[in-house]
Amino acid sequence: MLTNEQSTLLTEGARLLQVELTVESIDRIAVYLEELQRWAKIVDLVSQSDLETIIRKHVLDSLAALSVLPAQGRLLDLGSGAGLPGLPIAATRPTLEVSLLEPRRKRVNFLKEVIRKANLKNTKAHEDLLYKEFFVRLRVFASSWFRHHTRHESARTIGCPALHENALANSGMFDTTPLTRWCGGECGLVCASMRSRSGREFVHQLWP
């Protein structure tokens, strides 16, 4: 359970991002944070240990992406790791179908445990080693597209923002067939990190 101070930090921080958290969403995020702390003893997930820092640095950053995401559809979190940004998004927006793709088995086990305990029926975790080449190409495409369209000098710091599947298919750089397998159907957005401001602006320009 979150303390009153932690709950206030989460709800007020989300409100500043224009995200209203329901009681159910807060409960699901609390389960995620509890499991994150428990699993951190055996799996390297995040470098921070105190919940206040994790809420500020990771959970609220993930929720910031909701401003550019549709109300419903499919989202693929490519290289999900500790479940960021996928799990906080899934906990807050149950109308999105979220797929978490991660190559490391221990982390996949962690993701599946959170999904089970938080009753995230809209979320699935997959272990797949084949996404790495796709991920490298995605980073290159994202950075080059961003620099070309915005002339942003520090595009390399964005990591890999969310990209609409059509943008990937039309680029000619990708075989987007695996997306259907990973998402369980037509995939709307592919992301690895949307948590920077410039990354969110990038997604906003891509979304049709």
90: CATH: 3.40.50
> Which pLDDT score is estimated for 155?
31
Determine the pLDDT at residue 71: 85
Q: Which segment, 28-32, 61-65, 154-158, is predicted with the most confidence on average?
A: 28-32
- The helices-and-strands tally (H runs, E runs) of the chain is 10, 5
- Angle (CA) 43 66 168, round 5°: 85
Is residue 149 within 8 Å of 203, Cβ to Cβ? no
Q: Residue 98 belongs to what H/E stretch?
A: strand 96-102
User: DSSP class of residue 156?
Assistant: G
How far apart, in whole angstroms, are the C-alpha atoms of residue 180 and residue 40? Answer: 32
**Residue 208 burial by CB count (10 A; 0-12/13-18/19+): exposed, middle or buried?**
exposed
Distances (CA, A) of 83 to 64, 66, 91, 146, 147: 15, 15, 11, 25, 28
The pair of three-digit structure tokens given for residue 72, joined into one six-digit string: 């419903």
- Identify whether the C-beta of residue 176 lies closer than 8 Å to the C-beta of residue 169: yes
pLDDT for the residue numbered 169: 57
pLDDT digits (tens, 9 = 90+) for 79-134: 788 998 899 999 999 998 888 888 889 999 999 999 999 999 999 998 876 555 55
CB atoms within 10 A of CB 22: 11
Per DSSP, the three-state class of 38 is helix
Question: In total, how many domains does the chain have?
Answer: 1
Q: Is the pTM of this model over 0.75?
A: no
Quick one: pLDDT at residue 49?
82
Q: Encoding tokens for residue 136?
A: 């490298």
Q: Kindly report, residue by residue over 160-208, the tens digit of the pLDDT.
A: 444 555 555 566 555 666 666 666 665 555 555 444 444 444 444 443 3
pLDDT at 122: 96
The domain in which residue 174 lies consists of: 4-206
